[in-house]
Structures are given as structure tokens and as C-alpha cells.
Amino acid sequence: MIKLTTARTTGLIYLGLALTGFFAFLFARQHLYVDGNAFKTSTNLVDNEMLARWGIAAEVALVGFQALAAVWFYKLFRKKDSFGAGLIAIFGMVNAGAILIASALWLVALNAAVSGGAMISPAGDQAATAQLLFGLHESIWLVSGLFFGLWLLPMGYMASRYNMPRALTYFLYVGGVGYILSTFVLIVAPGQTSLAEILPIPATIGEFWIIGYLLFKPVEV
């Protein structure tokens, strides 16, 4: 029987975060939200209600995994450097709170499109209300990129303190900076979506690498 060490538990939680995030944001949301087209977004929500509900459920699960990951990373790293471990926990919790708010907005957008109608929609305009709420969801995800990035910087530092591969720490550092830069690119130059999508790529590599490392390599606690 595989022993669930602190490191392995942290890796499993982080894997859960990654998988729920992939389904919620990169799959379900991509099939539903159409920027600048309220009618299409509302129609997608109505026609794909169960996909939207599973997407919201996955995003709420992501929040839970994010909060647990923040706590378990602190538990894993605190003996070596409580300040670095504390930063991971704080940034992770802030990010979890932001995404929880985004999830609530997505749920209300869905309700506006498929059921609530005139009761929660100004002038009974369900499509416009759903688009506005879903747009707020998108904006929260956008600005939360700051904390996606900040979360990875102390993680890279702690990875170096635990003598994890130097390339892994490099991807975490560069990925963290990439997420932060991507956030400001989308705010200042919203048309530069290709650049904004490229900048966080090292983060994806670093995150899956550290998940694998925590799951399969011994980490001294």
C-alpha cells in the first residue's frame, strides 16, 4: 500500500487543482462564453446547461483544491522556511477566494439565461445579464493571474531550498513572472491575446513537473 506522505498528499491535491481547472476553465468555459456576443453566450448556456453546471461544479472543486494545496504546501515547507511557506499559503488562499467569487457569478449568469429571466435581469434582458455576469467571471480570472504568478514565485524558492532540480525552479520562477506579465498585457493591450497565452507556458511545465516530483520523488519534511 502506498504511504500518503505529506509530499504525496500535496502532489495529489495539486493534481486535483490542475484537472478541475482544465475542465472548468479550458474546456467548459471555452464552449460557453463568447466575448462580445450576448445572444451566443446565452444560447450556449441554455443549450449546454449540464456542461455549464459541471463546469461550475469543477470550478468550485478547484477552489477547494486550491485552498487545500495552500495549506498542504505550508505543512510541507514550513520547517525549512516558514516565511516562504507562508507566502505560498497566503497567495493560494487569496486566489481561492477570487475564483470562488467568479464561480458564483458564473452560476448566476447560468440562472439568468435558463430560468430566472425577468426576475434577475434588468428590463427582462436575460442575454445581456448573462453576458455581463459571465464577463465579470472572465475579468476576475484575468486579474487573478497576478496571484497565479505570485503563488509560483515562493514555490520556486522553496523548491530550490529542497534541492529540487534547478530547471524545475527555473520554470516555476519564469512561469510566475509570465503569469504576472500576462495579466498586465491583457489589461493594457487586450488585443495581444497570443502573447498573453504564451507567457504562462513555463508555469504549466513547472506546475506539472512539481506535481510529478511530489508524487514520485522523496521530499524531506
Distances 8 to 11, 124, 146, 212 between C-alpha atoms, Å: 5, 51, 27, 9
Single pTM value for the model: 0.90
pLDDT at residue 124, as a whole number = 57
Secondary structure element (H or E) that encloses residue 171, with its range: helix 166-188
Please, are residues 172 and 155 in contact by the beta-carbon 8 Å criterion? yes
Predicted pLDDT of residue 1:
36
Angstrom distance (rounded) from CA 97 to CA 85: 19
Amino acid at 49: E
Condensed to tens digits (0 to 9), the pLDDT of residues 92-140 reads 999 999 999 999 999 999 998 887 555 455 545 788 889 999 999 999 9
Quick one: pLDDT at residue 191? 87
